[in-house]
Amino acid sequence: MTDLRADPFDALAAEAATCTRCGLAAGRTNVVFGVGNRQARLVFVGEGPGRDEDLQGEPFVGRSGKLLDRLMAEELGMDRTQCYVCNTVMCRPPNNRDPRPDEMAACRPYLDQKLALIRPAVIVTLGNVATRALLATNEGIRRLRGRAYPFGDAQLVPTYHPAAALRSGGEVVAEMRADLVRAKRLLAGRR
Ligand code: URA
């Protein structure tokens, strides 16, 4: 039998599958590690699993995910096999509340290791929670979006969470599209 642990990404996923580093472990159905291409040049980071994601063990499978997939296809010409999609925390916060700082801190080494193994050129953060966590700021997404930020060897492009776009409609969707076009330019080596 193949030893899955020989691959560092598989080893990390195996470790995450039994993680009890924070209280969210007690309420989860599945650890939502992430999905997509481990050699991707683009990684999306969301907030945390909702009900559908917890049940299916995959990020962004609900309504927000459908919008994300559509914008990904329309603005980047990509699907999930060409990028990687994960979250700031891997277990569902109760009643879809925001993950707490201690929960994000407990999960952060997993996110950092995923990013270190994938080594993307561009990271798109979806919404306030992911953007604030990775940029270590309290500033809101409205102010943060519209430019790219250096993040290690990558460029970080903040955009709205697709759930916010679903709530707010046209203008927010248009701004998300513009942010994805920025990500595409950066992937092509242009500013
Ligand atoms: N919202 C998120 O932030 N992540 C998911 O995986 C699903 C919804």
pLDDT tens profile 52-98? 999 999 999 999 999 999 999 999 999 999 999 999 999 999 998 99
Does 103 sit in the ligand 1 pocket, CB within 6 Å? no
Residue 72 lies in a domain: yes
Can you give the CATH number for the domain in which 47 is found? 3.40.470.10
Determine, yes or no, domain membership for 155.
Answer: yes
Pocket test for ligand 1, best of 63, 87, 90, 95 (most atoms within 8 A of CB): 87
- Is the residue at 1 inside a domain? no
CB burial of residue 41 (10 Å; 0-12, 13-18, 19+)? middle
pTM score? 0.95
Q: Is 53 in the pocket of ligand 1 (CB under 6 A)?
A: yes
Q: Which domain holds residue 33?
A: 8-187
Q: Would the CB of 49 count as within 6 Å of ligand 1?
A: yes
Instruction: Report pLDDT digits (tens) over 159-186.
Output: 999 999 999 989 999 999 999 999 999 9
Q: Is residue 129 part of a domain?
A: yes
From the list 167, 162, 163, 164, the residue with the least C-alpha distance to 75 is 162
- Does residue 2 fall inside a structural domain? no
- The answer to the question of residue 80 being in a domain is yes
What's the domain count of the chain? 1
Ligand 1 contacts CB of residue 58 (under 6 A): no
